[in-house]
Amino acid sequence: MCLPCKNYLRLRSLAAELVAISVLVAGSSVATGEMVPDFALQDVNSISATYGQLVSPRDYLQQVSAWYFGQAGGGTCRTDVGYLDQMQRDLDANDPEADIRILGVNRAGYESGSSAVTAGRDIPWLQDVDGNHDGFSDVWTSWDVQYRDLVILNGENEKLETFSLVVYDLRNPDSYDALRKKLIAAATVPEPAGVTLLAAGAAGLFICRRRNRDR
Ligand SMILES: [Ca+2]
């Protein structure tokens, strides 16, 4: 084979390797606004409505959902799940129209602590696995999350943001309120473009007027 041909084949092989590497790197993180990778994990919380079923984020399309990543066994995780369970009850009771769902994903290797973490709490608790035996929890890897991250998704399963309970511990009422407001905001449909709401007097009447009508 001629030298230019060998060089061409070598370059083509190198390009293919670079593409493969870039796909691996891209697959290891989820950017804001990007649809999260799908999965199907078993709900191991015996008092959850989906106990024993395989649960997927695609089950929550058309709803805002929030996914907590914990390690069952420690008191911190049990405390977090307690506050998230309280948040779910709070939202269901006071803002049912928002239809927000909160779930937990337990890191592979922490299976033995699940019963303690979920005792008395009925949010789904999904058990992650290490199916490819690389030593890392599969969904934790594909969603690129850290311990105590809460990933908020919109109704298209696109990531809105990651709310870290390490930074915003829910034992602090300000953190609890901040998360609650974020979830409600995520579930609130914005006004159509070009339309404004104008307060009309003390009666609290609102008039909807097109922004450019009087221009
Ligand atoms: Ca793995």
**What kind and span of H or E run contains 122?**
none
Report which DSSP code applies to 131. T
- The phi and psi torsions of 106 (rounded to 5 degrees) equal -85, 135
Domain extents for the chain? 1-29, 31-186
Angle at 188 between CA 184 and CA 189, to 5 degrees: 170
Whether 180 has a pLDDT exceeding 80, the answer reads yes
CA of 76 to the centre of ligand 1 (A): 24
Tell me the pTM. 0.77
For the record, the structure tokens of 214 come out as 């009087």
- The phi and psi torsions of 161 (rounded to 5 degrees) equal -170, 165
pLDDT digit string, tens, across residues 131-140: 999 999 999 9
Q: Which fold has domain 31-186?
A: Glutaredoxin (3.40.30)
CA of 26 to the centre of ligand 1 (A): 16
Q: What pLDDT does 209 receive?
A: 35
Q: How far apart are the first and last CA of the chain?
A: 73
Of the pLDDT bands very low, low, confident and very high (cuts 50, 70, 90), residue 29 is: confident
CA of 51 to the centre of ligand 1 (A): 24
CA 168 – CA 178 distance, rounded (Å) = 9
Mean pLDDT of 20-39: 71
**Are the C-beta atoms of 144 and 69 separated by less than 8 Å?**
no
pLDDT digit string, tens, across residues 140-158: 999 999 999 999 999 999 9
Report which DSSP code applies to 166. T
